[in-house]
Structure 1
Amino acid sequence: MKTRAVRLYGVNDLRLEEFELPEIKDDEILAQVISDSVCMSTYKAVIQGKKHKRVPDDIDVNPTIMGHEFAGIIVQVGAKWQDQFKPGDKFAIQPALNYKGSPYAPGYSYRFFGGNTTYTIIPPEVMELGYLLKYEGKGFYEASLAEPMSCIIGGFHANYHTETGKYVHHMGIVEGGKTAILAGAGPMGLGAIDYALHCDRRPSLLVVTDIDDNRLKRAEQLFPPEEAKKDGIDLIFVNTKNLDDPAKYLIDLTGGTGYDDVFVYAPVRALVEQGDKILGKDGCMNFFAGPTDTEFKAEVNFYNIHYTPTHIMGSTGGNADDMLESLRMSAQGLINPAVMVTHVGGLNCVADTILNLPNIPGGKKLTYSNVDMELTAIEDFAEKGKTDPFFAELAKIVEKHNGLWSAEAEAYLLEHKSIQ
């Protein structure tokens, strides 16, 4: 079977090309990829090439398929897995394999396994780990976005707190506590807000900071503080850009106690140091944002770590349970991962999107592997619709869903733009 895929050949060398897939083995599964959301981690792999720990050394002769936040439909099942899966099953993938200690993962390491392709071969380790997840929801985009949401959920689960005189760690954010999300109006921050407001362990105070008024305005429109108040949560959005002393201002919002849980969503030294300063007693700061600089450093207060005691940790990725929680919450309407999406496109725009990702404003870029369409901001649908009936109708659908991407919008796109 032929597939069309975006493959990595070297540093900044991405190519969209068609090639033949081998016949699947008895322990493999053939699947059609429907959707993939572009991750900043993919950009980091592309600009590093074989220097990246997940990218093989021989990509110049054995290129790897990009994309790891993907979902689709099973087409053919090898004999070993026919009692668990069948053609027609919808699926999501937990890509953080760590199989037998290997760093290899889809979207970085495999010749025939990734999300930026029309068809993919799922290798046996994915099924052995239980990381091929059946999906019952309506929109494939929710299954794609379950991966970044699982990273967010994993971060909330990974935070911990202690008891004086006892050698125990209580995992998770403090229920009814005070939480701050710094640099929180970007795509992952928006997902974190959604989860914090609707998970089973919610704070009483949630403060979200950013330095961009437009991002903060959109965040407040998506998550009105008056709605959060109905659930007993004081939700406050703060632009810290022009504050003389941001840390003092943020601490004052807590009544002087500081925060139980702080999440840092951008690899900026001043932001890390700000997060450390606003921790309260037994507070935990999670450095969520992965830097590309291997020498990235920031100063922290070790006096507080020793005596208060505060905790500093980092988390990246989630596990299968986090993925399942994301899928379940999406299916139940408790969270809406579409809040992260600002752009939609087809497979033909993936290479340019990855290469220019830091320079493209907005949130998540959602792509459809069996569609050819330039990357388009959702907010531009209406303008394009003045001359293109397809975008005119898509704009109407988006407007019905509070300006967000939806299962209805996805179905319309696939009906009118699929190339297969």
Structure 2
Amino acid sequence: MKASVFYGKDDIRFEEVQKPVINDNEILIKLKACGLCGTDIHKVLEESVSKGTVLGHEFAGEVVETGKNVSSFSIGDRVTGGIHVPCFTCDQCSRGHYTLCPEFKKTNIHPGGFSEYIKIPVEHVRHLLYKIPEELSYSEASLAEPVACCIHGQKAVNIHPGDRVLIMGAGPIGLIHAQLLKKQLVKEVVITDVSDHRLNNAHAFGADTIINTAENNLRDYIQENGHPGFDIVIIAAGVSALLPEAMNVLKRGGTVVCFSPFTINPDVTIDAGMFFHDEKSIVGTYSVSPYEFEEALLAIQNGVINTEVLITHEMPLSDLGEAIQLTQKKNENVLKIVLKN
């Protein structure tokens, strides 16, 4: 079979790799669609993974082979799922911190979503593989993982009807967050970014207000509108400098959700007095547990997520390198790219 294999940021090869062989408890799927995630892009551009790695985790495909002990899925089933499975029994799992389970990152699909065939291990078959509703396309179903991650992130904080929420970052993740928030009857969703191309899409995803922070000051917006700050701030861009800014525009008693990884220059300075005097909070959220996938599929199925506008490009699996380059063109209207097989 073939896969798009990483060798360097300018060297991704669509080449022959060994087709996975399953055991009696596993499943083999033929990939139909795999979303290009921001983490995939960062891993390639920062060359933070080993040569020979096959990335991709937002997959959807068709079951083409099942182990003899597998009874919950059949050949021909359309499926999607995640890549990491917790043990459900350790100290972290017992407290609901499934993504912090020591076994979580040890589990994975093989070789990765950007390949023609994927082996689904027994843990995933049991806990993290879901049948795709008939009315959803494979491309739409590939959005289940990022939508589930956003649901997981919003569960980390108490969101109330009437809240004012700021989303920092108008990429696909920020836009998914906005759509989920509007269904929770928040009073206002403000999305910020430094790209007009991204911000121009935000109203279609539920943003009440868009602000280009390269040209406008968030504090000025708050003062002009006479409110005490945002109840919730979701940082949906991996820029560490956004954290102090988020704390400064946060309402007393509010919470900042650090959704995106701060991989570059993560050290920042925050006025620690805000934690005591203003009871402001910061929470981190990572990945997704098995419990959010069904919610994500329902959100897509019920039209909460505007998949038609969100998916701006569908490209062949062989064009992974070109897809990543496309995301770096600032004047292109690029939101979600889905690679298809």
Q: Structure 1-normalised TM-score?
A: 0.71
2:35 match: secondary structure: strand
1:346, CA displacement in angstroms? 0.3
Q: In the superposition, relative to structure 1, how do residues 274 and 251 fare at CA in structure 2: closer, same or farther (>3 Å)?
A: farther
Q: In the superposition, relative to structure 1, how do residues 260 and 87 fare at CA in structure 2: closer, same or farther (>3 Å)?
A: same
1:104, CA displacement in angstroms? 4.0
Is the Cα contact below 8 Å between 2:241 and 2:268 reproduced in 1? Answer: yes
Q: In the superposition, relative to structure 1, how do residues 80 and 268 fare at CA in structure 2: closer, same or farther (>3 Å)?
A: same
* Equivalent position of 2:281 in the other structure: 311
Q: Choose the corresponding residue for 1:277, options 240, 243, 248.
A: 248
* Equivalent position of 2:143 in the other structure: 145
Distance between the aligned counterparts of 1:278 and 1:340, measured in 2? 28
Distance between the aligned counterparts of 1:46 and 1:300, measured in 2? 31
Distance between the aligned counterparts of 1:22 and 1:94, measured in 2? 18
Q: Given residue 30 of structure 1, which amino acid in structure 2 is its aligned partner?
A: L
Is the Cα contact below 8 Å between 2:3 and 2:318 reproduced in 1? Answer: no
Distance between the aligned counterparts of 2:309 and 2:151, measured in 1? 15
How many percent identity over aligned positions?
Answer: 28
* Equivalent position of 1:133 in the other structure: 130
Q: Choose the corresponding residue for 1:84, options 62, 68, 72.
A: 72
Is the Cα contact below 8 Å between 1:258 and 1:280 reproduced in 2? Answer: yes
* Equivalent position of 1:386 in the other structure: none
Distance between the aligned counterparts of 1:44 and 1:213, measured in 2? 22
The correspondence of residues 57-206 of structure 1 with structure 2, limited to 5 A, is 63-81=52-70, 83-98=71-86, 101=103, 103-104=105-106, 106=108, 112-128=110-126, 130-136=127-133, 137-159=135-157, 172-183=158-169, 185-198=170-183, 201-206=184-189
Q: Choose the corresponding residue for 1:350, options 313, 317, 320.
A: 320
Of 88-97 and 65-74, more deviation after overlay is shown by 88-97
Q: In the superposition, relative to structure 1, how do residues 32 and 224 fare at CA in structure 2: closer, same or farther (>3 Å)?
A: closer
1:265, CA displacement in angstroms? 1.9
Please list the CA deviations of residues 279-318 of structure 1 after superposition, one character each: whole Å capped at 9, or x if unmatched.
112100012221322x412222221211220001222222
Distance between the aligned counterparts of 2:65 and 2:311, measured in 1? 31
2:83 match: secondary structure: coil
Is the Cα contact below 8 Å between 1:174 and 1:261 reproduced in 2? Answer: no
The answer to whether the aligner puts 1:210 opposite 2:193 as a matched pair is yes
1:357, CA displacement in angstroms? 4.1
2:257 match: secondary structure: strand
Is the Cα contact below 8 Å between 1:113 and 1:122 reproduced in 2? Answer: no
Q: In the superposition, relative to structure 1, how do residues 252 and 314 fare at CA in structure 2: closer, same or farther (>3 Å)?
A: farther
Q: Given residue 43 of structure 1, which amino acid in structure 2 is its aligned partner?
A: I
The answer to whether the aligner puts 1:219 opposite 2:202 as a matched pair is yes
* Equivalent position of 1:4 in the other structure: 2
Distance between the aligned counterparts of 1:241 and 1:301, measured in 2? 23
> Greater Rg, structure 1 or structure 2?
1
* Equivalent position of 2:93 in the other structure: none
Is the Cα contact below 8 Å between 1:188 and 1:340 reproduced in 2? Answer: no
Q: Choose the corresponding residue for 1:237, options 201, 206, 210.
A: 210
Aligned length: 324
Distance between the aligned counterparts of 2:142 and 2:271, measured in 1? 39
More helix by share: 1
1:67 match: secondary structure: coil
The correspondence of residues 18-57 of structure 1 with structure 2, limited to 5 A, is 18-47=16-45, 52=48
1:12, CA displacement in angstroms? 5.7
Distance between the aligned counterparts of 2:339 and 2:271, measured in 1? 43
Is the Cα contact below 8 Å between 2:179 and 2:206 reproduced in 1? Answer: no
Q: In the superposition, relative to structure 1, how do residues 248 and 134 fare at CA in structure 2: closer, same or farther (>3 Å)?
A: same
The answer to whether the aligner puts 1:249 opposite 2:221 as a matched pair is yes
Q: In the superposition, relative to structure 1, how do residues 11 and 351 fare at CA in structure 2: closer, same or farther (>3 Å)?
A: closer
* Equivalent position of 1:380 in the other structure: none
Please list the CA deviations of residues 232-259 of structure 1 after superposition, one character each: whole Å capped at 9, or x if unmatched.
xxx222233323x422423543x33211
Q: For structure 1, which runs of at least 5 residues remain unmatched after alignment?
A: 160-171, 226-234, 370-420
Q: In the superposition, relative to structure 1, how do residues 20 and 272 fare at CA in structure 2: closer, same or farther (>3 Å)?
A: closer
2:143 match: secondary structure: helix
The answer to whether the aligner puts 1:260 opposite 2:231 as a matched pair is yes
Q: Given residue 101 of structure 1, which amino acid in structure 2 is its aligned partner?
A: E
Q: For structure 2, which runs of at least 5 residues remain unmatched after alignment?
A: 88-101
Q: Structure 2-normalised TM-score?
A: 0.86
Q: Given residue 190 of structure 1, which amino acid in structure 2 is its aligned partner?
A: L
1:126, CA displacement in angstroms? 1.3
1:292 match: secondary structure: coil
Is the Cα contact below 8 Å between 1:344 and 1:367 reproduced in 2? Answer: yes
Distance between the aligned counterparts of 2:107 and 2:202, measured in 1? 32
Distance between the aligned counterparts of 2:104 and 2:290, measured in 1? 17
- The ranges of structure 1 where at least 4 consecutive aligned residues each deviate by more than 4 angstroms after the TM superposition are 9-13
The answer to whether the aligner puts 1:364 opposite 2:339 as a matched pair is no
1:26, CA displacement in angstroms? 0.5
